[in-house]
């Protein structure tokens, strides 16, 4: 059987997402997730994309961790006759620090460098490493590649990535803005340029990646020149449960007024803030939108804060780029929420954005396309596909 598939793995602390993609046709054969890893209720769920328009299946894994999840996945791939076709495995890795400006093959040196970045991403990088090591064990002989969320932003100029704090903290501890969602930006930037008939190497594209985690990026001539997330994915925009930018003195304020420890405030800002904290309803944008549509003023205010921060950042990026060829929305909220897109368009009207309400309302659930009127600065939606980007990189490194 010819080797015609790439296995893409995105390993979190208690989940493992996967997809098998044919690099020639870029079609997904199967995708899925192993969830609740580490608990006694671990479960593997998948969708066979080539069967009956997406046949779904699941299997309980018992008390399973990442290795057992990959064994379960291997069994499934064998059953479906897909295992022999896999030529390489591509892994998402969150933090590559300043060591990686592009994807690469896994070697001992690369694993060490990822390990050295654990202090920058203590929740993510250990899980990513677990996934790589488990894959090396369960699928011996297959090459593994790593694709970093931070790599795309390594082109940012120093004026965009340095924080105005003692320079020694950058030199000695690596404290700087790194940025995340880079794999999505690379995919979305190129796809937007292709759709608009632009040369990515001669273009100015703003992208808002709005999911549970949210960030924005200024892509000039195909390179990231600025982004909103920072040393960690907490900085920048309002997110599902993350605050984004707040006054850093909040740490000492909450300590002095309420006795909060460092960990408590860190937890508050990461898990209890953002849409959830402000709305006092939910982290899911849909719930807040529904409430706002029904006249709940506090829900509307929450959406307005979300859009205010986003529009402010995008306006700053636009000024730095000098010209906007396109503003692209992506991620769960960006791809589906006509309400958020309309709100942001109105706030950015100074840049010549005029919304086509019909196109805006019709663009959701994976549909990509322009949502601005003729004669307007272009606004559009591009459905992101990080798995495809990982499979492209893995194929390029191993073919």
Residue 211 within binding range of ligand ADP, rule CB under 6 A:
yes
For ligand ADP, the binding residue among 93, 147, 285, 324 (CB under 6 A) is: 285
Residue 289 within binding range of ligand ADP, rule CB under 6 A:
yes
Residue 332 within binding range of ligand ADP, rule CB under 6 A:
yes
Minimal distance in Å, beta carbon 284 to ligand ADP? 4
Of 212-231, which residues contact ligand ADP (CB under 6 A)? 212-213
Q: Nearer Cβ to ligand ADP, position 215 or 377? A: 215
Minimal distance in Å, beta carbon 361 to ligand ADP? 11
Q: Nearer Cβ to ligand ADP, position 336 or 360? A: 336
CB 35 within 8 A of CB 88: no
- The whole-angstrom separation of Cα 170 and Cα 166 is 8
Q: Nearer Cβ to ligand ADP, position 316 or 332? A: 332
Q: Nearer Cβ to ligand ADP, position 99 or 343? A: 343
Minimal distance in Å, beta carbon 254 to ligand ADP? 26
Residue 290 within binding range of ligand ADP, rule CB under 6 A:
no
Minimal distance in Å, beta carbon 153 to ligand ADP? 17
Active-site residue, 194 included: no
Q: Nearer Cβ to ligand ADP, position 212 or 255? A: 212
Q: Which stretch binds ligand ADP (CB under 6 A): 152-160, 207-215, 302-310, 355-363?
A: 207-215
- The whole-angstrom separation of Cα 349 and Cα 92 is 37
133, with CB counted inside 10 A (0-12, 13-18, 19+), is: middle
- The whole-angstrom separation of Cα 66 and Cα 135 is 9
CB 29 within 8 A of CB 20: yes
For ligand ADP, the binding residue among 80, 98, 264, 284 (CB under 6 A) is: 284
Q: Which stretch binds ligand ADP (CB under 6 A): 243-251, 315-323, 326-334, 387-395?
A: 326-334
Tokens encoding 114: 């990822």
From residue 364, alpha-carbon distances to 306, 337, 339, 360 in Å are 20, 7, 11, 8
Residues in Cβ contact with 349 at an 8 Å cutoff, skipping those fewer than 6 apart: none
Of 231-270, which residues contact ligand ADP (CB under 6 A)? 240
Residue 337 within binding range of ligand ADP, rule CB under 6 A:
yes
Minimal distance in Å, beta carbon 160 to ligand ADP? 23
Closest residue to ligand ADP using C-beta atoms = 332
User: Of 299, 257, 304, 263, whose CA–CA distance to 281 is shortest?
Assistant: 299
Residue 80 within binding range of ligand ADP, rule CB under 6 A:
no
Residue 286 within binding range of ligand ADP, rule CB under 6 A:
yes
Minimal distance in Å, beta carbon 76 to ligand ADP? 23
CB 382 within 8 A of CB 192: yes
Minimal distance in Å, beta carbon 187 to ligand ADP? 13
Residues in Cβ contact with 398 at an 8 Å cutoff, skipping those fewer than 6 apart: 87, 88, 105, 143, 145
Active site positions, annotated: 149
* Binding residues vs ligand ADP (CB under 6 A): 211-213, 240, 284-286, 289, 331-333, 336-337
């Amino acid at each position: 059987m010819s080797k015609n598939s790439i296995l893409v793995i995105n390993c979190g602390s208690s989940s493992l997402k996967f997809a098998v993609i044919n690099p020639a046709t870029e079609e997904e054969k199967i995708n899925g997730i192993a969830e609740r890893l580490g608990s006694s209720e671990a479960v593997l769920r998948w969708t066979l994309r080539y069967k009956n328009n997406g046949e779904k299946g699941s299997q309980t894994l018992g008390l399973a961790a990442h290795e057992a999840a990959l064994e379960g996945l291997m069994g499934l791939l064998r059953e479906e006759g897909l295992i022999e076709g896999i030529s390489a495995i591509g892994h998402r890795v969150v933090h590559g620090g300043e060591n990686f400006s592009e994807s690469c093959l896994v070697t001992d040196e690369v694993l060490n460098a990822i390990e050295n970045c654990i202090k920058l991403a203590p929740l993510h990088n250990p899980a990513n490493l677990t996934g790589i090591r488990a894959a090396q064990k369960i699928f011996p002989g297959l090459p593994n590649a790593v694709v970093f969320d931070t790599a795309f932003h390594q082109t940012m100029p120093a004026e965009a990535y340095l924080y105005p704090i003692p320079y020694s903290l950058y030199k000695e501890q690596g404290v700087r803005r790194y940025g995340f969602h880079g794999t999505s930006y690379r995919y979305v930037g190129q796809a937007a340029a292709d759709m608009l008939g632009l040369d990515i190497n001669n273009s100015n594209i703003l992208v808002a990646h709005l999911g549970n985690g949210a960030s924005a990026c200024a892509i000039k001539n195909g390179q990231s020149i600025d982004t909103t997330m920072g040393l960690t994915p907490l900085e920048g925009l309002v997110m599902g449960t993350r605050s984004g930018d707040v006054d850093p003195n909040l740490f000492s304020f909450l300590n002095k007024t309420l006795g909060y420890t460092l960990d408590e405030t860190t937890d508050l800002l990461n898990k209890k803030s953002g849409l959830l904290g402000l709305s006092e309803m939910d982290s899911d944008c849909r719930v807040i939108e529904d409430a706002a549509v029904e006249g709940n003023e506090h829900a509307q205010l929450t959406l307005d804060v979300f859009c205010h921060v986003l529009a402010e950042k995008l306006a700053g990026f636009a000024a730095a780029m000098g010209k906007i060829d396109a503003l692209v929305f992506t991620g769960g909220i960006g791809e589906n929420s006509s309400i958020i897109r309309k709100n942001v368009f109105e706030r950015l009207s100074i840049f010549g954005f005029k919304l086509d309400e019909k196109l805006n309302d019709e663009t959701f659930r994976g549909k990509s396309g322009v949502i601005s009127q003729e004669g307007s600065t272009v606004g559009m939606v591009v459905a992101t596909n990080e798995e495809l980007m990982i499979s492209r990189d893995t194929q390029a490194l191993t073919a």
